[in-house]
Amino acid sequence: MENLSRWDGTISSTEFRIAATTLSKKWEVINPELPPWTWIESPKPFWVTSLEVEGYLSLENYSYKFSSDDADNRICVDTQAHENLVDTLCGSRSSCQKEEPVSFGNEEEPVDSATLVLNDDDKKELHYYDFHIVYSNSYRVPVLYSRGYRSDGQILTLDEIERDLPANSLKVLRESKWTFITQEEHPLLNRPWYTLHPCGTSEWMKLLFLGGYSQAKGGSSSCSVMQQYLVSWLSVVGQAVGLNVPLEMISDFHHLCTIDNVTSSNGNSVTTS
Amino acid sequence: MVGVGSEAQKYVWEGAIPLQIHLHESEITTLPSPEPALILAPRIGYLPLLVPQIKPYFSDTLPPGVDTVWFDFKGMPLKWYIPTGVLFDLLCLEPERPWNLTVHFRGYPGDLLSPCEGEDSVKWSYINSLKEAAYIINGNSKNVMNMSQIDQFELWRSVLNREMEAYLRISSKLKLGIVGEDYTKIVMSPRQSNNEADSVGPSRAGRIPVRLYVRNVGEYTDDLEDVPPVDSWDRICYMNKPVEIQREEGKIFNLYDAIKMLLPEFFPDEPSIDEELSKLELEDEPGIGGSNLSDPDPDTNTMRKTELVTVKNETQLYPSHPTGKSEIKLVRIQGIEPKLDIPFSWVVTNLINPEHFLHICVCVGVSQDSSKTS
């Protein structure tokens, strides 16, 4: 990735691993009170004897209580920017669906959101969520998988998860049943988890970085860009699932600018929702 | 090639597996027990699409409740999003006809299987796979996502009804053909040799969507009938693994090369592809069917080019694992065990499923010992 302007927004599995380390370390430093992102080696295929095995990032037992305490400190973009983003990410889906009921496409679908853990205003039972970030060999981007459960370990149903979703996501879910949040097989655990399709991720990651990079100091090497990839990716995806990335983690990259960039760029090719 | 399809493609599209479907005993509430349902299941189809045909056989005897249909084979819940033909190839190593499956209308194992709400679920699963395949091939899914509503509808209908010509006509618009495929160009369309690559995009050439399923048959080497049934998906390894077709002047990237790329662990200290190919050519002998079938030496892996032959119980064709105890025993695609020197592009063009993935089932023998020592 020598030239950012020609970069297609994807990363290799090796770069994924490097970026995972960065995310994990930064997260631990900045969010010591939150569950950590840990690297899990995926179950080794039975025939593999020596080769490097795949793995994924895992954050488990995340609960909305973490974000409700001092959420203000953690929100990384202002409310308006956040809403713009979510509107864009979600709106593209819903508008697509409304106009073309049999549409295959969600090309502006940049977020792999799954479940949301916000706002426990009504004294709900505590829900926990596991998040996994898995590298997709097909799309060559990270994909977020999630699963929710009660404190007794009982897996949450979609109905229960819906109650944890923010209004925006819930609205989109209702309108775009087949294309927003779906249960798919976790590629490494072979069990159904909630996920979103990553077919738009490389596009918006490219926009995110081109915007961020042009603002950043010229000295930033592509190496550091790669390291920053997952942090930046999660700063977008996380917002849609209520997993907020603190501003300090992404301050290097003038994140507010890049969010605007994504928002407006997506808006070009999507009819307004 | 638009709208015509090769003979092999027709076989794939017309292929069907006779099923004998039994209702699970826990759901039989009447006497006498209902007879099993006998139906033909398309290879390229999906089990939930058969439910409207199956339901009438059993509707009178079901206990009260809401239908959540799923199937099992010898106790193993079947993943509905895997094409029926692939399930058969993978789980029924010694093909049984009819294939005896059990249907359940209650008690969906939601912890193991993604939920299925009938045709809609299958359709979206198909579409998502198609998008993924398009992304692998072209670096984006735009051609799939920008299809007109009519084409989208017709495409799914053609898959549902197994109308190959309609399917080929519509799917050709998606530009998902293999770029620069040496073999088919020579044989089928010599005129469009150079320009085709440009129509899809630069340097994306030859990334092939492959779903690889690897099943360990352990020590049960010689007779597939002796292989015990799989009882859990945890015992099968499956993944999407794009295969990058390697191009070299004068060389054909064949199925052997693809398998080697997918499962390099089974090809220790192999000569390079070049050497291997020249060997293949030198040793290209007519008496393929019979000679040296029990010879474990990988060099006997010599087969006639471009010939598709079903090989049964002839498991010597593959090299062995470093430990000496592990080897590839079987490579099965669309119900056949293709010869490994067939050009990979031919395999892809003719044996892919309509979502543009090539599903390859591989049986390996990895003994307990060798997997422990790892």
| Pair (B220, B173) in one structural domain | no
Task: Give the containing element (helix H, strand E) for B36.
Answer: none
In this prediction, residue A225 carries a pLDDT of 75
pLDDT tens-digit map of B169-189: 999 999 888 654 444 443 444
Distance from CA of A97 to the nearest CA of B (A): 12
The CATH number covering residue B144 comes to: 1.10.246.190
Same domain, B178 and B269: no
Beta bridge partners of B40: B18
**Which residues of chain B lie closer than 8 angstroms to A101, CB-CB?**
149
Both B38 and B175 in one domain: the answer is no
B352 and B231: one domain?
yes
pLDDT of residue B89: 96
Q: Do B374 and A49 touch (CB under 8 A)?
A: yes
B2 located within any domain: no
Burial class, A192, CB count within 10 angstroms (exposed 0-12 / middle 13-18 / buried 19+):
buried
B164 with B194, same domain? Answer: yes
Average pLDDT across each block of 10 residues of chain A; the chain has 273 residues. List them in order: 76 92 92 92 71 82 63 40 47 37 44 50 73 94 93 86 77 75 88 85 84 51 76 83 76 45 38 28
Closest-approach residue (CA) in chain A for B320: A47
Please check whether residues B221 and B136 belong to one and the same domain. Answer: no
Among candidates B114, B140, B263 on the partner chain, residue whose Cβ is nearest the Cβ of A183: B114
* Chain-chain contact of B145 with A199 (C-beta, under 8 angstroms): yes
pLDDT by residue, tens only, chain B of 374 residues? 455 778 999 999 999 999 999 999 999 999 899 999 999 999 999 999 999 999 999 999 999 999 999 999 999 999 999 999 999 999 999 999 999 999 999 999 998 999 999 999 999 999 999 999 999 999 889 999 899 989 999 999 999 999 999 999 999 999 888 654 444 443 444 344 444 333 333 334 579 999 999 998 877 666 777 788 888 888 898 989 899 988 777 788 999 999 999 998 888 865 545 444 444 444 444 433 333 333 333 333 333 333 333 333 333 455 554 455 678 999 999 999 999 999 999 999 999 999 999 999 999 988 765 444 43
| Full DSSP string of chain A | ---GGG--S---HHHHHHHHHHHHHHHHHH-TTSPPPEEEEPPPPTT-SSSPPPEEEEEEEEEHHHHHHSHHHH--S-HHHHHHHHHHHHHHHHHHHHH-TT----TT------------TT-PPPEEEEEEEEEETTTTEEEEEEEEEETTSPBPPHHHHHHHS-HHHHHHHHH-TTTSSEEEE-TTT-SEEEE--GGGHHHHHHHHHHHHHHHS-TT--HHHHHHHHHHHHHHHHHHHHT-PPPHHHHGGG-HHHHHHHHHHHHHHHS---
Task: Provide the residue range defining the domain that includes B230.
Answer: 207-284+294-372
Rounded distance between C-alpha atoms, residue A163 and residue B139, angstroms: 36
Instruction: Answer yes or no: is B112 within a domain.
Output: no
Question: How many distinct structural domains can be found in chain B?
Answer: 3
Q: Does the distance separating the beta carbons of B145 and A106 come in below 8 Å?
A: yes
Q: Are residues B84 and B216 in the same domain?
A: no
Which strands, in side-by-side order, build the sheet including B99-104?
B37-42, B16-23, B99-104, B70-73, B76-77
Closest Cα of chain A to B133: distance in Å? Answer: 8
Residue at B1 is within a domain: no
| pLDDT of amino acid A92 | 41
* The pLDDT value given to residue B136: 94
Strands of the sheet containing B358-365, edge to edge, are B236-240, B210-216, B358-365, B327-332
From B170, B200, B230, the end of a domain falls on B200
Burial A16-33 (b: 16+ CB within 10 A, else e): bbbbbebbbebbeeebee
The answer to whether B114 contacts A137, with C-beta atoms less than 8 Å apart, is no
Q: CA B17, B19, B21 angle in degrees (round to 5)? A: 160
| B143 DSSP β-pair partners | none
Residue A106 has a pLDDT of 45
Confidence at residue B179, expressed as pLDDT on a 0 to 100 scale: 54
B136 touches A: beta carbon within 8 Å:
yes
CB contact under 8 A, B147 and A104: yes
The residue from B77, B104, B131 where one domain ends is: B104
Same domain for B314 and B261, yes or no, is: yes
Q: Are residues B280 and B349 in the same domain?
A: yes
Q: Which of residues 325-354 of B touch A (CB under 8 A)?
A: 326
> Which residue among B153, B168, B200 closes a domain?
B200
CA B241 to chain centre: 13
Same domain, B302 and B343: yes
The alpha-carbon radius of gyration of chain A (Å, integer) is: 18
- Residue B261 has a pLDDT of 92
Which residues of chain A are within 8 Å of residue B237 when distances are taken between CB atoms? 45-47
What are the tens digits of pLDDT across the range B251-296? 889 999 999 999 988 888 655 454 444 444 444 444 333 333 333 3
Interface of B with A in 11-70 (CB under 8 A): none
Chain A residue whose CA is closest to B242: A138
Q: What is the pLDDT of residue A223?
A: 61
Q: Report the catalytic residues of A.
A: 199
B251 and B346: one domain?
yes
- To the nearest whole Å, the CA of A185 is away from the closest chain B CA by 7
Let me know whether B88 and B217 are in one domain.
no
Q: How near does any CA of chain A get to the CA of B148, in Å? A: 8
Q: Which residues contact A124 (CB under 8 A, 6 or more apart)?
A: A163, A164
pLDDT of residue A1: 52
Place of tokens 């507010």: A256
Please check whether residue A80 is in contact with residue A88, taking contact to mean a CB–CB distance below 8 angstroms.
no
